[in-house]
Amino acid sequence: MIKEFEGKTEKEAIDKAVEALGLERDEFDVEIVESQKSGFLFKKGRVIIRVHVGGDEVPARGGEANPVPENDFEHAVVDFVQNVIEKMGFPGKVFVSFREARKLGLMLDSEHSGILIGRKGKNLDAVQTLANVVAGRLTNDDIRIILDSENYRIRREENLVKMARKVGEQIRRSKGSRLLEPMNPFERRLVHTALNDMNDVDTKSEGEGLYKQIRVYYRGVDR
Report, as ranges of residue numbers, the positions in the chain whose pLDDT lies below 50: 39-43, 55-64, 223
pLDDT digits (tens, 9 = 90+) for 42-98: 445 677 777 776 544 434 444 445 788 889 999 999 999 999 999 999 999 999 999
The SS3 assignment for 161 reads helix
What is the per-residue DSSP string for 41-83? TTPPPEEEEEEE-SSSPPPPTTS----S--SHHHHHHHHHHHH
Beta strands, E only, the chain? 2-7, 29-36, 46-52, 93-100, 103-109, 144-149, 177-179, 201-206, 213-218
* Pairing state between β 144-149 and 103-109: parallel
> Other C-beta atoms within 10 Å of 53: how many?
20
Q: What is the pLDDT of residue 69?
A: 87
Domains and CATH numbers, the chain: 2-52 (no CATH), 72-150 (3.30.300.20), 154-218 (3.30.1370.50)
